[in-house]
Chains A and B, each alone.
Chain A
Amino acid sequence: MQQENNVQAKSLDALSLVNAFLENPSYRAYKALASQALPADIAEALKSLTEEQCRRFLTLLPSEFAADIFQELDLDLQVELFGVLGAEKTADIVSEMESDDAADVLSELDEKQANEILEGMQEEGEDVKDLLKYEEDTSGGIMATEYVALNKDWDVNRAFEELRAICPDADKAYYVYVVDDDGRLVGVLSLRDLVMAERTDKIADIMNENVMSVKADTDQEEAAHTFKKYGFLSLPVVDDEGRLTGIISANDIIDVLDEETTEDIQKMSASLPLEGTYRSAKVLELWSKRVVWLLALFITGALTSGIMKGNEALLGQFVTLIFFVPLLVDEGGNAGSQASATIIRALALREFELGDYLKVLWKEFWVSAMLGLSLAVLAFAAAVVMPSESLHWMQAGTIVGLSTLIVVLFGSVIGSVLPLAAHMAGLDPAVLAGPVITTIVDSAGLLIYFGIAKSVLGF
């Protein structure tokens, strides 16, 4: 919390600096702003200004600084501001943005507007235009083109010259990559290697040839996995011919991880994933993402009504049985949700290999059996205590206790089997979570419960 307050205090500082600059846009006010506030804090502060104030503020700033701030803004705010800034200023700002951020915002605009901006961008426009060609969730879609590439035949001296020449454009370059005459990626060097080397050493002699890369059409999730596994600070992206086309930084990967988790969580709660943020989603959009699953589950769930109807006579004679229906089906559903969430997450983090599946099922079986037993004891006690005219306490205890054991066991096993099966079949396991499992357990649980009740009561 302390930290959060600090962050808030920082953007307040930034806001007062922004206001001071807007009141009197002098060089001094600009200097104060640029040296005392970070772009992300200024971006935060802009949220509390009017559109006109933002427009004026960004117009007054040099494009380079404006771009630093701009790329920290939420995408929908960026799009909104493009509308009021005018094509020329917009093109200036986009030219100064990092290529991946520029491509992200341009892909949000309609084609005509995007083309207008691209035309105004000259040289940088080409890079960004290339980036726009890649699918959003591929390595190409998240990479940037600000990398440092050295030719393998150069010496260290030449490398330093190159570094100086392209310096301001590539401040995310943690490593420098080495390419051959055709632009194919052949090695990697850290800046440290370069600094430590002799001036006359050839790049090819000091580089590390064991360079890991991903293809531009590789899924972003795959890229994230490679990135995490090898602990890089940046990962090069190559085209089909092995030519270096971009780099992915750790910050891009953090975004991917967040995005994938959000998608999984939404799927696990029986929603179709949202395109943007919850905040920017309209009521109708949210509704349409949820109603599909809700209806599907409702229709499946209707089976429970049929099962209850089928046991009308039993229920009419022993009303007490009804009291335990929600309890029983919920417990099975809850145990299933726990198991499925655990398994789905472990699958997403690739903790399992195919060979582990049997071990996982065996483990889950034991966990489920233990959970079922523990809860059965509780359920037995609860049923014994619940006053009933139609059932003897021993009968109630036996029926409810035994049913709890089997329903919890069933829920928990189903909760682990279904995601694993989906994964094996090449489907996304995330949808087989809480709500779907709960709905299945509802029907199965009732069948188990009434079946046990009938045999105990000799009905």
Chain B
Amino acid sequence: MEEDVRLRIDAIIDEIKALLARKDEAALIAFVEDQHPADLAEAFSSLTEEERKTLFDLLPSELAADIVEELETEYQTEIMNKLEVEQASDIITAMESDDATDLLSELEEQKQDDILSNLDKEEAEEFQELLSYEDDSSGGIMGTEYIALSPNMKVDYALDFIRRTGKEAQTLNDIYVVDPDERIVGVLSLRDIVVANPLLKIGEIMHRKVVKVGVNVDQEEAAMLFKKYGVSAIPVVDDQDRLTGIITADDILHVVDEEATEDIQKMAGVISNDDTYMSTKATRLWSSRIIWLVVLFLADLSSGFIMKGFEKSLEVAVSLTFFIPLLIGCAGNAGSQASAVVIRSLALKEVQIKDSMEILWKELRIGLLLGIVTGIAGVVLSMLIPHSEISWAAMGLTIGISILLTVTLGSVAGAGLPILASLLRQDPAVIAGPLITTVVDAAGLVIYFTVAKIIIGV
């Protein structure tokens, strides 16, 4: 499957290069027209910068727009910066409004202004409005190519209306019905209209229950609505409940990927950005990681001070130190396991805050079971590593009990801390692996030395 695609892309690259070299404009356009824009976009990165520019100089803006929509951000901006303002504006006009807005927001302000002032007034205003929404809000991902009908339209008139205006619309499966104040009163699909009696009014055949979303609502909430109601598009309304845009299912696929990436990176202590790995500079990657590393470093210092506090015990029984990395490592792993599954369940809303007690109870039991197994492994290990100053029994008991307690603590804290974050309206994804490990380290050391004090008496 993957190889088929690779071969197809390679063939496209060769053909485009050949046609560009021959400067055969007509044949080039004919060839490009037959390909899927997504394939062309993939082939794009294998062309030289000059070839890319020539290609776009030759293509009509409609065709160019289809390709630009599929390109990665860095290539989109490259092309926009190279082309004449006239040409760039034509491409922006031909693109779908949501993609065009994303692209405009990536351009330098000067370039953005140049393009906007080259568009007609109405269109420029529309983009200005779209640009004003937060990137990750429903307004930030919506497009404005929708069809709105009036409930009083006759079915045959509506069909005629769609024939005239429907070319631009993103989807004809969700056609909205609005009242004179532009408030949504119903929804129907093109098929509902096609199969209806032509003499009926739209208001008589529309569905009245419409799932909609506010323009400022977070994109993650919009994605939840898609999942919950299984819809293929959601209308976006402004503060006055007026229809202002539409989000389609393919927009949501991006949101789902983006949110998952953000969560996975947060869970590893990385501050995420929207760019792909390859287009992110090393210094930017550094700054996205160093903050958490420093925070965790400072928190980790506590473990140094805790050990300093138990310096006397350590001097008497150096053997105790042999098991420190293992003990805290194991508890940290148990904590990572628990936090990952709880964070993911919270993100998918499989569990809610009201389930907290149930979750903690579950994790307590799992933690104990995990602690028993690893505790026994710890006892075995303590017998394999020779230590002269402490008796076998005392050492084994100390290790076993400490592992049991810290692993249990790890599981419970791993589940409890994300829930706590969620209660405090913070993003639970931050409290995953690295942070849990650090917390468990400090707590684990206190437990370990206390147990040692009681059992060994040092």
Contacts and interface: CB of A to CB of B under 8 A. Distances in A.
A59 interface: no
Contact of A340 (B229, B268, B278): B268
Given A326-B324, A370-B282, A233 B173 contact: yes
Contacts of A295: 373-374, 377
A268 B264 contact: yes
A305 interface: yes
B325 to A, nearest CB: 4
Q: Which of A251, A375, A387 has the most CB of B within 10 A?
A: A251
A331 interface: yes
Contacts of A330: 296, 300, 303, 437-438, 441
Contacts of B171: 174, 233
A438 B329 contact: yes
Interface in B267-303: 267-270, 276-278, 282-283, 285-286, 289-290, 292-294, 296-297, 300-301, 303
15 contacts: A195-B194, A232-B250, A254-B253, A265-B343, A271-B340, A297-B329, A299-B377, A301-B329, A309-B322, A315-B321, A340-B268, A360-B278, A371-B289, A382-B304, A435-B332
Interface of B: 1-2, 34, 36, 38, 42, 70, 159, 162-163, 166-167, 169, 171-173, 189-191, 194-195, 208-209, 211, 213-214, 217-218, 221, 223-232, 248-250, 252-254, 256-257, 260-261, 263-265, 267-270, 276-278, 282-283, 285-286, 289-290, 292-294, 296-297, 300-301, 303-305, 307-308, 311, 314-315, 318-319, 321-326, 328-330, 332-334, 336-337, 339-345, 348, 350-351, 355, 362, 365-366, 369-370, 373-374, 377-378, 381, 385-387, 407, 425, 432-434, 437-438, 441, 445
Contact of B162 (A195, A257, A277, A334): A195
Given A269-B340, A367-B286, A331 B297 contact: yes
B303 A327 contact: yes
Interface of A is mostly: helix
Contact of B337 (A294, A306, A324, A325): A294
Contacts of B163: 195-196
Contacts of A35: 208-209
Given A230-B36, A330-B296, A363-B282, A434 B268 contact: yes
Given A287-B366, A366-B282, A254 B268 contact: no
A396 to B, nearest CB: 11
Interface in A21-67: 35-38, 40
Nearest to B334: A294
B293 A338 contact: yes
Contacts of A435: 332-333, 336-337, 433
Interface stretch (A113-121, A124-132, A177-185, A345-353): A345-353
Contact of A356 (B224, B278, B300): B278
B276 A346 contact: yes
A371 B293 contact: yes
Interface stretch (A79-87, A102-110, A159-167): A159-167
Q: Which of A40, A173, A323, A371 has the most CB of B within 10 A?
A: A323
Contact of B38 (A38, A40, A231, A327): A231
B297 to A, nearest CB: 6
A147 to B, nearest CB: 13
B1 to A, nearest CB: 6
Contact of A3 (B221, B269, B292): B221
Contact of A250 (B2, B253, B301): B253
A112 interface: no
B100 to A, nearest CB: 15
